[in-house]
Amino acid sequence: MRLLMLGGTEFVGRAVVETALARGWDVTVFHRGRHEPPAGVTTLLGDRTTGPEGLAALADGTWDAVVDTWSAAPSAVRDAARLLAGRAGRYAYVSSRSVYAGPEPAGLAEEDPVVDGSPDAGDVPYAEAKRGGELAAEGAFGADRTLSVRAGLVLGPYENVGRLPWWLGRIARGGPVLAPGPRTLPVQYIDARDLAGWTLDAVSAGLHGPYDLVCPPGRTTMGELLDACVRVTGSGASLRWTGPEELLAAGVAPWTELPVWLPPGGTYDMIHTADVGKALAAGLRCRPVDETVADTWAWLESLGGVAPQRPDRPAPGLTPQREAEVLAALTGP
């Protein structure tokens, strides 16, 4: 297979490229040159943010499939997809489960309502951007040649959003750790490498349309995730499990100050109770949480413990001072 990866030097894009190379695919990576792509690819340089002129390097060439992880202005997806529609077989756009419209019932799936979006939009909120990207890809390639991979929470090596790296770094420091409960609360995520493998299988098989991509409901819990962090870091950290009501009363912000975690109900139902039967029937396989955590820790250690952080995303997690204040307020003098 001849793959064109739009991006491909960080996180999900890099996982796609490394997975394709491991399969013996011929991989071309189009990127801005800010980070080195994996060895063994053909590199094309350009900048989608500058408009159609930034796509000049894509003027020639043919590919069996394109994978695109773009998460900003949908017009950038539109311009690339239009340019490639006559020279590429299929277009896989890595979208997000954030495209589903509220309210947030449990068990959302592909047939549920989505937010409005436009393929011609510029800078818009994340959900609208991802929905617009889906429409842009489909508008150029047609419904039967477009795959929309609606990923949920993505974790794993190369993560540049900072959620699992923050937990690993915090637990590695040791001491009492504010752990959001209940510890049996199920969480759903997808390892970037599992996302990559499924996406490449899907384009090879000619799948099209939207697919939600996270692990099955109930596969792991908040407790299993953080216990794995304690094991791999070997820090001896003490997890201080605290109920949702106490955390919210203390003013702790779910998801941002305590990454991954959401209190039951509402947004939790949308993020952590997805129905992924369609993807499972199409071959989705998810590795154990211990493997995701261990491999992410090994990658972090190779970087000296400091993970990259996307400049367009705020760094997640409580500051040490804020965590100490909350723990003191919860435990008393």
Q: Kindly report, as residue ranges, where domains of CATH 3.40.50.720 are found in the chain.
A: 2-154+190-213
For the chain, 333 residues long, give each residue's pLDDT as a single digit of tens.
999 999 989 999 999 999 999 999 999 999 999 999 999 999 999 999 998 899 999 999 999 999 999 999 999 999 999 999 999 999 999 999 999 997 667 778 899 999 999 999 999 999 999 999 999 999 999 999 999 999 999 999 999 999 999 999 999 999 999 999 999 999 999 999 999 999 999 999 999 999 999 999 999 999 999 999 999 999 989 999 999 999 999 999 999 999 999 999 888 998 999 999 999 999 999 999 999 999 999 999 999 988 888 888 888 999 999 999 999 998 765
CA distances (Å), origin 173, targets 36, 155, 156: 30, 21, 20
Tally helices (H) and strands (E) across the chain: 11, 13
Q: Which residue has the tokens 């800010």?
A: 34
CA distance 329 to 238: 17
**Maximum C-alpha span of the chain:** 69
Domain at 2-154+190-213: CATH code: 3.40.50.720
Element (H, E) at 88: strand 88-96
Taking a C-beta distance cutoff of 8 angstroms, is the pair 147, 92 a contact? yes
